[in-house]
Amino acid sequence: MILWMIVQTYDKNRGSFHSMTKNIVEQGKKRGYLPLILCLNNQDNSQRPTELQNGVVIRFHNPSKKFPIFKNIIEAIARRKQIIRYLRPLEIKENDLVYANGESAWGLGKLGIKYHLRMGDVPVLHHLKNLSIAKHKVSILTRIVRWIHFHIYYLIEKKCVENAESYSVASEETMELFRKYYGCGDKPYFVPKKGGL
């Protein structure tokens, strides 16, 4: 049995995100799964698998360092392409688990892979709305670039939410926001307990 962890990055200096991923990997290992973490490489761009105490990390080339503007979108496109290429020839078995974080899930639906989605803190367009409160403090060019960036990201996030089988969210309020922006239907979801799964 494999626990597929599809995440943006897996680096020790990523704070609570790294801790959450590490916690899920450790719990999966205890339950008899082999955790495989697929992510972009934020260090040396070597693509060799890294064996950890509780699993294996497979890092893909990250081209975004060359493009400071729209960095997140370039990372999402690169991750999607490389993860599809990696997973397409493999068989995800019935008792495997696939856990994807945010926009890292983009492309899994194309392969027909069922996955659990950890949603972001707020929907991307809600975040843009919050940023507009201080829009007078940034240039018109920044506002235009921000608007384009967030609306492209909205389309990516929408696909990820629509194709997920279930969700985990930070709070009931977060789930209501995602329902407002994406519908989400009656798919199961849960709010993780603080300090545990």
| pLDDT score of 66 | 67
Q: Which two tokens stand for residue 63?
A: 């081209």
Model pTM score: 0.85
**What structural domains does the chain harbor?**
2-190 (3.40.50.2000)
CA gap 38, 42 in Å, rounded: 13
CA gap 88, 91 in Å, rounded: 8
Other CB atoms within 10 Å distance of the CB of residue 174: 20
| pLDDT score of 65 | 66
CA gap 111, 96 in Å, rounded: 15
> What does the pLDDT profile of the chain (197 residues) look like in tens digits?
999 999 888 777 665 667 778 888 888 999 999 999 998 876 655 566 777 777 888 888 877 666 667 788 888 888 899 999 999 999 899 899 999 998 999 999 999 999 999 998 888 888 888 777 767 777 888 888 888 988 999 999 999 999 999 999 988 999 999 999 998 878 999 988 754 45
